[in-house]
A and B are shown apart, each in its own frame.
Chain A
């Protein structure tokens, strides 16, 4: 029997039901045609039912972020690092939303349509607050009332989870992403996952700072320096990496593993906005209540 709390099909379905309950509106009444290079903005736009016509790396987005669904007709602009501006042009957007990550593209894109920038990851600022601001601003710009509802509903839900987790074991949580069997990436207090932990009243086991763009990989042996924590494994990770890790003596000897304090959740975009935060919170709630109920 695996020591890791794996999600069964049923629990994934129920988590999906929670997400669906957030009443994602459809883009039937087509608003302005919008395009974006940034995945965090893409998931925000999809979640509030905006009329998205073009976005980057959709194949990868469907595998990593998974939700919200990307409608079939959305044009794929290619890699985030090298978006295809001609495809963007052919998509005829009325508005392009961009973030500070791809600011270099603003002058080129402003020839196609007005560009509005909404940063979500900035050094020293809370990505959750920035994501809230961006969601509200975009909602207002596109006249999607769903944006305001999403912000309020998620805040309320995180409050509910706070009460739920207050009845838990009070241990800190370490959200990690496996790179290979010997390295992982950690999400500090300045990451979206770190923000969610703070808002649901859980302590982040990782107290060091993480740089806002990407985290230098940590050696797996550093897991031993956080013996009290719950380990939350966030995919995507190479399948063989997880299998090799689960077999190793070191992993089996970790207190968290011996005491069944490892949660494997579904794949989440690590640089997401509110939909990613919501997904992470739901996975946590689902995982912890499952553990408690046996």
Chain B
């Protein structure tokens, strides 16, 4: 058959690549030095108890993740569902971090059980959030990604809190396949077999699920029941893998794609080909990282290497993602409008001033709560003022950047964090750390600004393509984020001084803010936001779309570029100050609109004030909740912003 042959080529190429690299690995594996007799015995042990079980576990874990991915994608009717995108992996990691570090009573319980519990809890939360929508595929996927974000930021907080003791969490989080016996294989293989058996039994209902809900129901499939059992099966498979070898990023995404690329069409074919493709991809990645690493050590943890696949794959798959009509986060037409926006703005400014005064004076001490006045106030001022100014300035700039992004993309859900622009800054920072060793703050800022700009330009290009709905843009942003974070986590896994700098950046701590940070925040806030008020015309017209903008006589490209540079600079500087996860850039423009500021310049001013207020509050909370210990403010703000984003997505059914 003419159509069959070309499809077999990629499959054959993948197979041959696997065989060749494994042969090379066997031929060039490092040998044990020393007395020949002992060395030969140890070599044999290494071969039989390390190299071969490792190869086997790569195949089994890859197959299990591939199958889990195929199942998840089928049941959610969503080509981007995967253990990484649904929060299973991050939930499992969080549970392990908690169990290892903070609950000594749990040390008796195995890490496998902890991972199960965490993965299931994360999925349960995701399902609960999307239950009202009948487990709508899109709601499930987006809730999953946000739960994942929240779990990841909690994990980073805990890692930081534990200091060096967290080494194993690092390794585990990055998904290393090292084995020293067959126990991993023995525990995972039967689970994979059981999973394959269950998937075979569920094939018919699966096929029916490929139709839409009403047809499936009329054919007599108990919709929620079947979906639920398939979901449980997929979660169980991925949690088993996560518990045994750690997070293997996005393999569940890669495997079914590869399967379709190799010619699998029907559900049955995909279910058979996806595990094979998953096994091959993970096996190949693992062989390569062993081959390229020096001596006995790996180049990078295998899980971090596969995570690099995630971003590009998500972008590639986006055109196939259907079903967005159900959820729209577009602006409500019936939003109220303030009668006296200027007065309301002064009210907001007054509120910010009061918050400012409160956080500057009110704080717990070793003798309980106290209001610092008089000499104590001037004593504490050098410690409180810089961090408050840094947080406030960052929040204000995030608010403005979020406002620009929502206007330029014409999309109400855009924001620096959601579009991956903050994470782009992280990738830029990573590159700067590699090029300069210990770069100065200015070079770090420059690297972050360039990274942010690159990420935002990619997002503008994506948003510019016709028919991209709010959620699709959100998913593209998550794809960029995933790619940038994969770069960051590869360096994190090296465990040297650079990873400490990156961890500190990710957590976003204002605790270190001194005069430099405070002045940077204040000066850039003024310099970067003041011109925006002169660009109100652009910000009014651009959301109407390229065609309309052009017909009104706006030079679209230059205006977009100028705004993009401003937004990227503001994002980079604020993520330098409070980390990439704060979500203040999402919340502030939204709240401004919800309050009733509809004119662009009012909305911009309100977004700046609200952004500043939110982060100043978050900064204060982050230093009082576990006094004298402190939670990094960026993570703390993410814990507020994440649920808000979920509420925003879930709540829209009221107006739909």
Contacts and interface: CB of A to CB of B under 8 A. Distances in A.
Interface of A: 57, 60, 64, 75-87, 89-90, 104-105, 107-108, 111, 177, 179-183, 185, 211, 213-222, 224-225, 227-228, 236, 238-241, 244-245, 247-251, 253-255, 270-271
A64 B162 CA distance: 11
Contacts of A214: 164, 167, 495-497, 499-500
A79 B380 contact: no
Contacts of A216: 297, 493-496
A219 B38 CA distance: 20
A241 B180 contact: no
Given A89-B383, A211-B497, A250-B45, A180 B168 contact: yes
Given A84-B628, A108-B382, A64 B111 contact: no
Contacts of A104: 512
Contacts of B368: none
B168 A107 contact: no
B495 A217 contact: yes
B363 A86 contact: yes
Contacts of A180: 168, 171-172
Interface stretch (B27-35, B466-474, B641-649): B27-35
A71 B91 CA distance: 39
B41 to A, nearest CB: 8
A107 B383 CA distance: 11
Q: Which 8 A-B pairs have the closest CB atoms?
A: A250-B180, A180-B168, A179-B168, A221-B50, A78-B629, A219-B178, A222-B296, A179-B167
Interface string B466-507: 000000000000000000000000000111110110001000
13 contacts: A83-B511, A85-B383, A179-B167, A181-B180, A182-B180, A183-B171, A183-B178, A185-B167, A216-B495, A216-B496, A220-B180, A224-B45, A250-B50
A82 B387 CA distance: 12
B168 A183 contact: yes
Nearest to A80: B163
Interface in B506-548: 509, 511-512, 514-515
A255 B162 CA distance: 34
Scoring B108, B178, B497, B509 by chain A CB atoms within 10 A of each residue's CB, the highest score goes to B178
Contact of B111 (A81, A179, A225, A240): A240
A238 B296 contact: no
A104 B274 CA distance: 50
B167 A82 contact: no
B165 A215 contact: no
B277 to A, nearest CB: 26
Given A82-B632, A84-B623, A219-B296, A179 B171 contact: yes
Contacts of A83: 511
B324 to A, nearest CB: 41
Given A183-B178, A218-B297, A249-B182, 5 more contacts: A108-B383, A182-B171, A183-B176, A214-B500, A224-B45
Given A86-B363, A213-B496, A222-B297, A253 B45 contact: yes
Given A111-B382, A214-B496, A249-B49, A221 B180 contact: yes
Contacts of B384: 86
A38 to B, nearest CB: 12
Contacts of B509: 81-82
B101 to A, nearest CB: 10
